[in-house]
Amino acid sequence: MRAWQRVALALIAVLVAPLASAHKESDAYLTLRTDSSDAHRMRGQWDIALRDLDYAIGIDGNHDGAITWGEVKARRAAIETYALSHLVVKGDGLTCALAPTGQAIDEHTDGAYAVVLFDAVCDKNIPSRMTVVYTLMYDIDPYHRGIVTLHAGGHTAGAALGPSHPEASLDLREPDRWGEFTSFLVDGIWHIWTGIDHILFLLSLLFPAVLLRRGGWQPVERFWAACLDVVKIVTAFSVSHSITLTLAVLGLVHVPSRLVESGIALSVLIAALNNIFPLVHRRIWLVAFAFGLIHGLGFASALTGLQLPPGAMAASLGGFSVGVEIGQEAIVLAFLPVAFLVRRTAFYRIGVLRWGSWAIVVIATGWLIERAFDVAIPGFDLLLPN
């Protein structure tokens, strides 16, 4: 085996290795409302995915993969203890006492959720500032995120929290829209960087950006020509996923999660196959635009459950969208200069473009089978993207 072939294999192994240790990203939705009949009390509702609770504390009693209401009820005390021990609510700096009041099951687009109902009893009458410290799954899943929404009188505020950003301070008198914007901006960046399927789709489109199809793959001569193609691709992808992201979050479009996730896997598969068996080698931006519509629906799942007034929704949605753009631009800026420098080598044309695309084809095919047919491929579950 030639030296460049060994290097290519090593590179592919490095790229694929992080996938093998990735867990599926988890979301939870925490809502706090002031109680008009009791100035010291806030009513809380916490929706936590059953799959996450099973992973954290084990609620599938017979280990058959199907969690029943009976199994949830049997573990009610454990669920409440686990959840409330990972939440701190403070009113004007004073910790509020948390007490469970009920439990239920609800269906979200990505499956069944346990609903933990609780009260937060504060020493002061409705405080002017609430602080939420959120540490659910912090020691299990570094990509977990909690969408926190606070309703106080006529005001509503929101934040996205997780292991890397566990605390938010929300003003009940005048919500901090800039704080909401930046909170969801960071969330958008991490959503791209931990969304392996989105990253592989983007890379599949970028691989041929420094090459031209003329009988075979030939290197482009000018860097700015390659940049122009990349700008077209990224812009088309950004515009299209922003359209469906906005429509879905506003509730104007609804597509079942299973179809969306299958469509994303299919888009990754087609984009990678096109590098191996080129059918579309001009106007790749049209491919990016078409499949970006599907990816936008996938991004929207990250904001599902937000019930905010127009101002708060605009801040949250805007911040998340900008974060997604920053995340993908960072990938482009890291990839393109290096790809341009090595574009003439067999390492890039064969090792990265051909073998890298084949590796993506294999991964995307597995995702497509698992998502479309709701089956688990033995040993493949570790490759599931966020």
- What is the DSSP code string of 137-193? TTTT-TT-EEEEEEEETTEEEEEEEBTTB-EEEEESSS--HHHHHHHHHHHHHHHHH
Is-contact 384 370, C-beta < 8 A? Answer: yes
Q: How many CA atoms lie within 13 A of 234 on its CB side?
A: 21
Q: Please identify which residue in the block is written with the tokens 């979200």.
A: 108
Helices (H), the chain: 3-20, 50-57, 69-74, 76-84, 177-193, 196-206, 223-249, 257-276, 284-300, 310-341, 346, 357-373
pLDDT given at position 196: 87
Amino acid identity of residue 380, one-letter, is F
Report residue 270 as tokens. Answer: 């087609």
pLDDT given at position 170: 81
| Kind of pairing between the strands at 27-35 and 145-152 | parallel
Helices (H), 250-383: 257-276, 284-300, 310-341, 346, 357-373
Q: Tell me the C-alpha distance between 81 and 62, whole Å.
A: 22
Amino acid identity of residue 220, one-letter, is V
The total number of residues written for the chain in this structure: 386
pLDDT given at position 15: 43
User: Which string of DSSP letters, residue by residue, matches 353-373?
Assistant: IIIIHHHHHHHHHHHHHHHHH
Reported as a single tens digit per residue, the pLDDT across 209-218 is 999 877 778 8
Give the angle subtended at the CA of 313 by the CAs of 292 and 308, to the nearest 5°.
125
Nearest to 52 by CA among 168, 128, 162, 177: 162
Q: With both helix axes pointing from N to C terminus, report the angle between 50-57 and 76-84 in degrees, rounded to the nearest 10.
A: 90
CB atoms within 10 A of CB 73: 13
Is-contact 275 357, C-beta < 8 A? Answer: yes
**Residue 185: φ, ψ to 5°:** -60, -50
Chain-centroid distance, C-alpha 227: 27
Taking the CA atoms of residue 243, residue 248, residue 253 and residue 256 in that order, the dihedral angle to the nearest 10 degrees is 120
Amino acid identity of residue 103, one-letter, is Q
Amino acid identity of residue 364, one-letter, is A
Give the angle subtended at the CA of 262 by the CAs of 204 and 69, to the nearest 5°.
140
- Kindly list the domain boundaries of the chain, sorted by start residue: 3-22+195-383, 27-176
Q: What is the pTM of this model?
A: 0.73
Q: Tell me the C-alpha distance between 364 and 384, whole Å.
A: 10
Chain-centroid distance, C-alpha 268: 16
Q: Tell me the C-alpha distance between 216 and 3, whole Å.
A: 23
Nearest to 283 by CA among 232, 225, 240, 331: 232
Nearest to 144 by CA among 221, 212, 52: 52
Q: Tell me the C-alpha distance between 151 and 157, whole Å.
A: 7
The series of mean pLDDT values per 10 residues for the chain, 386 residues long, is 47 41 65 86 94 92 86 95 96 91 87 93 78 92 87 80 87 76 87 88 92 83 89 91 88 86 93 88 83 90 69 82 92 94 93 94 92 79 51
pLDDT given at position 304: 67
